[in-house]
Amino acid sequence: MSAGGPRSRGETLALRHQLIGSSCKLFFPENPVKIIQAKNQYIYDENGNAYLDCINNVAHVGHCHPEVVRAAHQQNLLLNTNTRYLHDNLVDYAQRLSKTLPEKLCIFFFLNSGSEANDLALRLARQYTKHEDIIVLEDAYHGHLTSLIDISPYKFRNLGGQKEWVHVAPLPDTYRGLYREDHEAPARAYADEVEKIIDQGLKKNRKFAAFFVESLPSVAGQIILPEGYFQKTAMHIRKAGGVFVADEIQVGFGRVGKHFWAFQLQGEDFIPDIVTMGKPMGNGHPIACVATTKEIAEAFSATGVEYFNTYGGNPVSCAIGITVLDVIEKEQLQARALQVGSLLMKLLTQQKAKHPLIGDVRGVGLFIGVDLVKDQESRSPATKEAEFIIARLKEEFVILSSDGPGRNVLKFKPPLCFSAEDAKLVVKKLDKILTEVEEAEASRSLC
């Protein structure tokens, strides 16, 4: 707050333009929302308007959850320091996380952000395998550090280009990809593409350190990967001497409903070698983690170089992390994600039958994408229509955004306290706006 009291929205915007880098983008840049408060699944502007938040997967158990706020405050009153001292919160949190993961994933490193976690995963994989090359999926995004821009086609396509040690496999998208919903075995077909990349690389004396993948690709368009794909790709990468890294930064901690971790959707027999996690862990507080095996962790330690992160695993962060796990359990938010997500999928699928703009509805739990198309046959992305719909929803006090290479996929990743009533409200408003768009298009066609 300024010395003279709260600034007007215009003053805040002017100062932002003056002081903040222009590459730091705003939602709704032509008419941004100024928020001053948030609670549960709602954010509030300076005029007291409540917006239903359908996209903030960081506020995992709800904005400003009182138990999380209380835990942070109480620990802050006692102590906050680094992990070079003994403290119960660090080991208690690691122990709690270990109970959610396969037994093999039993060693933890704590950090501040998903980007830091993925950067460490890259180092772990390379140190363990003594190899350099990484395989990623088309349109993948793994973080904003230089090392991660290099393995994020979503970013490097517009920057320095693809490095020699980076190999890009086709995205297993059964709606838009190489092998679609009518293919008899899409998981095998897409995994075969990874095997081809490995075979071609080996012939050129490339050495593979890891297959690095988001358990559910998000910026690629809310993609649900065909079951069995991870098992098959893991077999190929391990045969080549590499490891399998599951990036759970967007989708872990019960969001998928059926399981606590999204990689578990692939089947109980699948276990990654490294799992990275971030965003939802701290419900808005910066905390992240890498879980791996003893063998990989010991290979990393064998260098003799200490791994130290000033803030990673501090007592306050761990107190918050433990409390987030408590709230997920106490409020049965994983079950809620499944129940409410299933309802939202059902309602959106009903809209697909009604509106030709909707080409595909896909998702699991509260991770859902609505793929908008100009034409059902060609499946050409309806980018402008998606932009218009998102702007109109904002006018209806609903915050939604788009993703995918064509920026045409409406993405739903709300806090897990999102309710059945919220789902019905959003779909009702979406139905109204889709009707507006289609009626306007019909009018233009008649002119």
CA–CA dist 132, 207 (Å, integer): 6
Q: Based on the fold, state whether residues 189 and 265 are members of the same structural domain.
A: yes
Nearest to 274 by CA among 118, 167, 97, 143: 118
Tell me what the mean pLDDT of segment 83-98 comes to. Answer: 97
Look at residue 5 and tell me whether its pLDDT is greater than 80: no
pLDDT of residue 214: 98
Same domain, 119 and 141: yes
74 lies in the same domain as 202? yes
Domain that holds residue 353: 33-61+332-446
Quote the tokens at residue 238.
């391990």
Q: Are residues 234 and 261 both part of a single domain?
A: yes
Is residue 7 in some structural domain? no
Over the stretch 181-204, which tens digit does the pLDDT of each residue have? Answer: 999 999 999 999 999 999 999 999
At 60 the three-state DSSP class reads: coil
Position 177 in a domain: yes
Residues 98, 194 within the same domain: yes
Q: Are residues 92 and 225 in the same domain?
A: yes
Residue 281, pLDDT above cutoff 90: yes
Inter-residue contact 293 to 107 (CB < 8 Å): yes
108 vs 105: CA distance, rounded Å: 8
pLDDT, position 109: 98
Nearest to 114 by CA among 368, 372, 312: 312
pLDDT tens profile 231-259: 999 999 999 999 999 999 999 999 999 99
Domain count, the chain: 2
Q: What is the mean pLDDT of the chain?
A: 95
Cβ–Cβ contacts within 10 Å for residue 249, how many?
27
What pLDDT sits at residue 1?
53
Q: What is the CATH number of the domain that holds 308?
A: 3.40.640.10
Give the domain-ending residue among 277, 298, 330.
330
**CATH code (residue 357):** 3.90.1150.10
Confidence category of residue 156, pLDDT binned at 50, 70, 90? confident
Residue 267: pLDDT band by 50, 70, 90 thresholds?
Answer: very high
Percentage of the chain exceeding pLDDT 70: 98
- The pLDDT assigned to 6 comes to 84
The amino acid sitting at 289 is C
Q: Pick from 290, 285, 264, 278: which is nearest to 128 by CA?
A: 290
Same domain, residue pair 151 and 232: yes
User: Which DSSP state fits 142?
Assistant: -
Tell whether 375 is covered by a domain.
yes
| 251 and 214 Cβ atoms separated by less than 8 Å | yes
pLDDT at 189: 98
Do 242 and 325 belong together in one domain?
yes
Convert the pLDDT of each residue in 390-425 to its tens digit.
999 999 999 999 999 999 999 999 999 999 999 999
The mean pLDDT value for 211-220 works out to 97
